Amino acid sequence: MAVLHNRVSQAELKERLYQETEPRTTISFYQYFPVQNPQGFRDQLYKDLNNLKVFGRIYVAHEGINAQISVPAPNFEALKQVLYAIEPLNGIRLNIAVDDDGKSFWVLKIKVRDKIVADGITDPSFDMANKGKYVNAAQMNEMLKNPDTIVVDMRNHYEYEVGHFNAAIEIPSDTFREQLPMAVDMLQNAKDKNIIMYCTGGIRCEKASAYMLHNGFNNVYHLEGGIINYARQIKEAEMPSAFIGKNFVFDDRLGERITEDVIAKCHQCGAPCDTHTNCKNNGCHLLFIQCENCASQYDGCCSQACKDTIDLPVERQKEIRKGVDNGRNIFNKSRERLRPRLNEREGSE
């Protein structure tokens, strides 16, 4: 069977997006449930969502679905009907972006994967049905008042760096599969304490909570809907935010502001800054934090060398990067090095 996908160039699709006058809403959702035929599920979903002009990135696997999408505002209710018609997704929580201009995605990509979030778990006795208890924003704020509560951030360093909950523990790795056993090791002496795990949209911390229970921890919680849902709940209820700074998101926005606190620094000059960008040099594309002054000085590049490169003729640039695979480069301040990521960004979200 032919795989359904878009054949128009990325550049043209992005240009079409920015020419749209119809407002869009950015949404994320996930669900762990058995999918018997991921490819067939994927193809039908592609047809249904493409008809609604949905853009975004969706992963389908035998264990469920993980999606970050944007939809034209007039098609939002129709989207809900399509999703709710799928029995395991009936009534699913749709996390609506907090700080959204609707320009998050410009193409629809639905991919079949082994898992909806790469976890490295091979133990056949691991069961997602045995997961931690949900906490909402009000419960999260209340539990954080207890000094014995342990809050664990299950996101990557570049996400933690620009925003996190007060007193949250960072698991110092840039891959979720590495973080799971690290979290178990780091918290061995806290098996009877209240442990709250959180992430961007809930998918990683939900699996992490199940993994902790699987490894003998007793009182494990996870933030329902992640930071995105937390931010919406505190705004609606006019509650104070225990999360400070910016929430990194896995789309073209690269972040949505939760509070006005700027807790990160420019990776080039050290000035207060929490704006992520990708190096303008196509042979680099390093993900790093850059202030306006450095963006101007280096023309959106991460270094003078990259700036010099983008000033070369295009053909010479192509020649330089020919045969070089940098993967996904991420500046990791916690390790004082540039870490090449050979896989796609791990998403939620």
Would you state the pLDDT for residue 7? 62
Interval 143-186: pLDDT, tens: 999 988 999 999 999 899 999 999 899 998 878 999 999 999 99
The one catalytic residue in 199, 205, 266, 291 is 199
For 48-184, where are the E strands, in sequence order?
55-61, 64-72, 95-96, 108-112, 133-135, 150-153, 163-165, 169-170
**Residue 13 scores a pLDDT above 80:** no
Q: Where are the beta strands (DSSP E) in 218-274?
A: 219-223, 243-247, 256-257
Q: Where are the beta strands (DSSP E) in 224-274?
A: 243-247, 256-257
User: What is the pTM assigned to this prediction?
Assistant: 0.78
Beta bridge mates, 112: 60
Chain segment 75-113, per-residue pLDDT in tens: 999 999 999 999 999 999 998 887 666 677 879 999 999
> Does the annotation count 302 as an active-site position?
no
DSSP 8-state class, residue 110: E
Q: Which residue has the higher pLDDT, 13 or 169?
A: 169
The CA angle 11-12-14, to the nearest 5 degrees, is 65
Task: Enumerate domains of the chain plus CATH numbers.
Answer: 10-112 (3.30.70.100), 133-231 (3.40.250.10), 276-341 (no CATH)
Residue 327: predicted pLDDT: 46
342 phi and psi, to 5 degrees?
Answer: -90, -10
